[in-house]
Chain A
Amino acid sequence: MNNQALAIQSLRYEITEMMQMVLTQLNKAHDALLTMDKELANEIISIEKKVNAMDINIDKACENILALYNPLAMDLRFVLAVLSINKELERIGDNAEGIAKYILNGDITSPFSNEVLLEIEFKSMFETGISMVDDAIYSFVNEDTKIAKWVFGKDITLNQINEKCPKVLTKLIQEDPSQTSKYLYLFSIIKKLERVGDMAKNIAEETIFFVDAKIIRHKVDKYNEKKKG
């Protein structure tokens, strides 16, 4: 063990901890939305403060490692991947926080009905999004690119569900215009979930870069297009 090995070990621990925190935020956001639970929403905000602090610490740790140790090969790819993944995690946290704020600010006046949630396939969408983040995290921590590739497949599923939402929400608004504001917030939540899916995909891409030294950014969409066709 030397200073470099210690620093990289410490960075690995920190990014893993941040991953767990962000996953917790997403799970709480899912549960909080079902019943507009303000206590859960507050917990998400509280975790967000820690996530933001960790974001800064991890960036600084990466800077120090690059400056002090000139890491090479897999060590270098690890640090570069962590720098990117850190940003993605922080954005996932922001999205979870955004959902929590809708609940806390009273923007959404009452829980969504089960019928509405079923119609937009809320449960399926949210669970797919969370499992994408979970898979991406697992693949990074275990350096398993096979699992990373699952994320791309699930992104197709998520996008297919999302694509139906504008039509469904338009219909719901037409049926009950008094609920327009509420459905617009629901649409915003769906867009946040879509972004979370994109971030999970980015984390999976960074994992493949770290482990296999392959850059598949921009090639993933072609891969998904092929699978759809």
Chain B
Amino acid sequence: MVEIKEEIDKHILEAINVHAYYGDKHALDDINLKIIKNTVTAFIGPSGCGKSTLLRMFNRMNDYIDLFKKQGSILINEKDIYDPGVSVEDLRKNIGMVFQKPNPFPKSIYDNVAYGLVIQGIKKKSILDEAVEKSLKQAAIWDEVKDDLKKSALALSGGQQQRVCIARTLAVEPKIILMDEPASALDPISTNKIEDLIFKLKDKYTIVIVTHNMQQAGRVSDKTAFFYLGKLIEFKKTKTIFTNPSEELTERYITGRFG
């Protein structure tokens, strides 16, 4: 079994000559890129460009799709995550994911956040209590929920649910956090809180965020990758992409001249 957890401390996440297919549909076409530690990288592009497909390859979420096939390699610190010896469970402990639609379990706030630790076999209440508090604080929601952690997570607002989901991800101490349009289902104030949270989390985590909101990419990310029809068109510092992109297609997309 490949020991991904300790290797990830260096972690550069890398895609090498990656192709992806859903049946006959060629969803990703020869993608090569590297994600640097403790940065926020945004994937942008029109619907169907492949950005979510690539994101989900980083923690093998596409494994569950029958028609999905891939070529090329996804490396975490030079170890291919699709190698036969890789534990997908371990992989997902170290690469957490936050989805577009908040998906808290039908459990209490406490049990949601503690879940990942409980299934690892951690039972001691003091350890769980500490981890839950730490994660909810990191997710900037502790003050709002600390007085009633037994409350069902489903009773929270959308923005609060999403932050509880982020806390749940953080509780298992990943190194990389993947976010697939984490704020697109939320109101502007909740979106603001999620973006502020991303800014705070960057010090300790590496974050990759898919967003269809270009302005969000501008606000939160250090580097931006622009995808179109399955190809990676341009991948540079966000300020360069937004002030002086090299590719005409990128310029047309960010200035809204597409289509």
Q: Measuring CB to CB, which residues of chain A are less than 8 angstroms from any residue of chain B?
A: 1-4, 63-64, 67-70
Contact = CB atoms under 8 A, between A and B. Distances in A.
7 contacts: A2-B195, A2-B220, A4-B219, A68-B238, A68-B239, A68-B242, A69-B219
Interface centre among A3, A63, A70 (most CB of B within 10 A): A3
Contacts of A1: 196, 199
B196 A68 contact: no
A69 B218 CA distance: 6
Nearest to A67: B242
Interface string B186-224: 000000000110010000000000000001001110000
B199 A3 contact: yes
Given A2-B195, A3-B199, A67 B219 contact: no
Contacts of A70: 215, 218
B139 to A, nearest CB: 16
Contacts of A3: 199, 219-220
Contacts of B215: 70
Interface of B: 195-196, 199, 215, 218-220, 238-239, 242-243
Contacts of A67: 218, 239, 242-243
Contacts, number: 28
A64 B215 CA distance: 13
Contacts of B238: 68
Contacts of A68: 218-219, 238-239, 242
Contacts of B219: 2-4, 68-69
Contacts of A64: 239, 242-243
Nearest to B195: A2
Contacts of B220: 2-3
Contacts of A2: 195-196, 199, 219-220
A127 to B, nearest CB: 42
Contacts of B242: 64, 67-68
A63 B199 contact: no
A68 B216 CA distance: 9
B119 to A, nearest CB: 34
The 10 closest A-B pairs by CB, nearest first: A68-B218, A67-B242, A67-B243, A64-B239, A2-B199, A2-B196, A68-B242, A63-B243, A70-B215, A69-B219
Contacts of A4: 219
A11 B218 CA distance: 17
